[in-house]
Amino acid sequence: MRVPSKAGVIEVEEKIKKIAELVKEILKELGEDVNREGIRETPYRVARMLLHELLYGYYVDPRQYLKSFAIDDDEDAIRVNGFVVVTNIPFRSLCEHHLLPIIGLAHIAYIPQNRVLGLSKFVRIVDAFARRLQIQERLTEQIAEFIYREVAPEGVMVVTEAIHTCTIMRGVKEPIKTVAITLRGKFAEDQVLRMQALNIVSLARRGTPLKEFEDLVK
Ligand SMILES: [Zn+2]
């Protein structure tokens, strides 16, 4: 994914240049020889990576993904009792406290009124919010709020589980997996419905059971 052209090619190139200069300063301050071969191109590479690969979400309006659809036929979604569950949507983000990767999965349940979205749309929506500096709770809120507002389902539940690599890199021995959940509409009001959706997510999610997650579905 590249920064969309609406950001302006010149503007983006200017930003890359500026950021590259600043990265160079950081490397100098750390005592590196910024002219040695392995590191010479690093400032520019890092700047390009930040803008084009890790943080392009600032330039993406996820509403663009909702323009052309009526009903998506999606084989990957699970339909139960009028709600649709899409699980195991991978996301990559950067924690705003340490600028280190957050790697996770999102699971979305919603009760469509007229619009049914397919997996590919959700993948893009999640990605648009993940590719910014984030904390997991806000990411989860933003995805839920966006779907609730723009797709207008009767209810939406978003669960994210993620490993924050800042905990690993900074010396916590066991990687800590954290779970966040946001509820809107009927999922917030109806506990039985919420439990049904959480149980389906629990069954469909990849990986080993997670204590926190199991506590949520109890
Ligand atoms: Zn962090």
Q: Per-residue pLDDT tens for 165-206?
A: 888 888 766 667 899 999 999 999 999 999 999 999 988 886
> Would you identify the CATH topology of the domain 5-59?
GTP Cyclohydrolase I; Chain A, domain 1 (1.10.286)
- Residue positions counted in the chain: 218
Query: 10 Å Cβ neighbour count for 126?
Result: 28
Distance 36 CA to ligand 1 centre (A): 30
Q: What CATH fold (topology level) applies to the domain 64-217?
A: GTP Cyclohydrolase I, domain 2 (3.30.1130)
Q: What three-state secondary structure class fits 22?
A: helix
| Catalytic residue positions, numbered | 95-98, 136, 164, 166
How many whole angstroms separate alpha carbon 147 and alpha carbon 94?
A: 22
Taking the centre of ligand 1 as the mean of its atom positions, its distance from the CA of residue 39, in whole angstroms, is 25
| Residue 76 buriedness (CB in 10 A; 0-12 / 13-18 / 19+) | middle
Mean pLDDT over each residue of the chain, to the nearest integer: 87
The secondary element (H helix, E strand) that includes residue 27 is: helix 9-29
Q: Is 169 exposed, middle or buried (0-12, 13-18, 19+ CB in 10 A)?
A: exposed
- Rounded distance between C-alpha atoms, residue 196 and residue 17, angstroms: 51
Mind listing the pLDDT tens digit for each residue in 43-64?
A: 999 999 999 999 999 999 999 9
**At residue 74, what is the residue type?**
D
Pick the closest to residue 191 from 155, 142, 137, 146 (CA basis): 155
- Report the predicted TM-score, pTM, of the whole model to 2 decimal places: 0.87
All CATH 1.10.286.10 domain ranges in the chain, comma separated: 5-59
Is the CA virtual torsion 140, 162, 113, 190 positive or negative? negative
Distance (angstroms) between ligand 1 centre and the Cα of 151 equals 31
From the CA atom positions of the chain, what is the Rg in Å? 20
Cα-to-centroid distance, 134 and ligand 1 (Å): 9
* Start-end of CATH 3.30.1130.10 domains in the chain: 64-217
User: Do 108 and 139 form a contact (C-beta atoms < 8 A)?
Assistant: no
Span from the CA of 130 to the centroid of ligand 1 (angstroms): 14
Mean pLDDT score, 110-118: 84
